[in-house]
Structure 1
Amino acid sequence: MESSTVQSQLVDVQNFLENTVSTLEVFLNETTMHELTQEKQGDETYYKGLLSTIRRLLVNSEYCLEECQIILQKNNFNKEIAEKTLYRIFHGCIEEFFTPRSDVWYEDSRSAYTGAHAIRFQKDAPDSVDRLLKSLEGNFQRMREELDYYENDYRTKMMQSN
């Protein structure tokens, strides 16, 4: 892939991450455990897990955004580093959104066929959390489709180097 294409992709990812970070920060700055339990009675331990996973997603997104900014600010654009970064963003941010390590939510693979939202919660979740994830899902899905190339390309390069 050409350097200009990779650079353009990195700019697109940077914009996506800026929007994601902003949305997550607003939610986390304005939401408390008390509000979640007032919104919907449920398992407090599960609610804490939801907030913890959202915080993790925010931290991952901030870290990935910072990586994009550093690469794009350099005078000499390094295509190889940018491609590795896009690969890390695919795994550390995009895939983490759809299948978080905490398993408080998961991706319903059948949603691609039904047109429904892909995120399903393990237990009942407050509506505000559901709205947040639904508001982010479309852009995460778009980024996943755009960055899937780097996932496949990186694996191919790794196999060829062995």
Structure 2
Amino acid sequence: MGNTLVHTQMEDVKSFLEKSVTEFETFLNQTTLSSLVQEKTSGSDYYKILLSSLRKLLVYCEEGLDSCQVILKNDPFVKGAAEKILYRIYHQCIEEFFSPSSDVWYEDSRSAYTGRNSIKFRQDVPDSVKAVFKNLESSFQQIREELEYYETDYRTKMIQSK
């Protein structure tokens, strides 16, 4: 891929991460475990894990955003470093959004064909949580489609270098 295309993708990902970080921060700064329990009285243990997973995802997005900002400020633009950062963002941010290591929610891939949101929660969650995911899911899906190239390209490069 040419430098211009990678640079443009890096700028797109930076904008996406800025939006995501803002959304996650706003939600997490305004939400407590007790407020979730007040909203929906079941599952406070589940809500603890859910909030923890969202904080982890926020940290990954913040780190990715910081990396994008550093790479974009570099003159000259270093394509190899940018590709490595985009690969890491794909694995840490995008994959964690759709399939978190805590397994608190999951992606129902069949939902993509029906036009519904694909994120499904293991237990019933308050509407405020659903709203965060609804607001971000299409952006995460779009960036995932753009960055899938780095998944296959990076693996190909690793195999060829052996």
Q: How far is 1:114 from its partner? A: 1.4
Query: In 1, Cα distance between the equivalents of 2:126 and 2:51?
Result: 11
The answer to whether residue 15 in structure 2 is matched with residue 10 in structure 1 is no
> What does residue 36 of structure 1 align with?
36
Work out the CA distance in 1 between the residues paired with 2:159 and 2:101.
27
1:115-161 per-residue CA deviation (whole Å, 9 max, x = no partner) reads 11100000111111011111110000000000011111111111111
Within 2, Cα distance between the matches of 1:79 and 1:96?
Answer: 25
Q: Which amino acid letter does the alignment assign opposite residue 69 of structure 1?
A: Q
Could you tell me how far apart the structure 2 residues matched to 1:113 and 1:132 are?
21
Q: What residue is the counterpart of 2:152 in the other structure?
A: 152
Gaps of 5+ in 1: none
Superposed structure 1 runs of 4+ greater than 4 Å apart: none
TM-score (normalised: structure 1): 0.98
Unaligned runs of 5+ in 2: none
SS in 2 for 1:101: coil
Rounded Cα–Cα distance in structure 1 between residues aligned with 2:161 and 2:11 = 29
Letter in structure 1 aligned against 2:157: K
Deviations 1:62-81 (A, max 9, x none): 00000000111111111001
Letter matched to residue 136 of structure 2: L
- Secondary structure of the 2:106 match is strand
Identity %: 57
* Counterpart for residue 96 of structure 1: 96
State the match for 1:56 in structure 2.
Answer: 56
2:149 counterpart of 1:143: no
Give, in angstroms, the shift of residue 106 of structure 1: 0.3
| Superposition CA RMSD, Å | 0.7
C-alpha distance in 2 between matches for 1:113 and 1:106: 16
Which residue identity lines up with residue 41 of structure 1 in the other structure? T
- 1:123 and 2:123 are equivalent in the alignment: yes
* Structure 1 residue matching 2:69: 3-state secondary structure: helix
The one-letter code matched in structure 2 to 1:38 is Q
Question: CA offsets per residue over residues 41-93 of structure 1, 9 Å max, x none?
Answer: 11111001111111011000000000000111111111001001100000000
Match of 2:25 in 1: 25
* d(CA) in 1 for partners of 2:87, 2:10: 11
Deviation at 1:24, TM superposition (A): 0.6
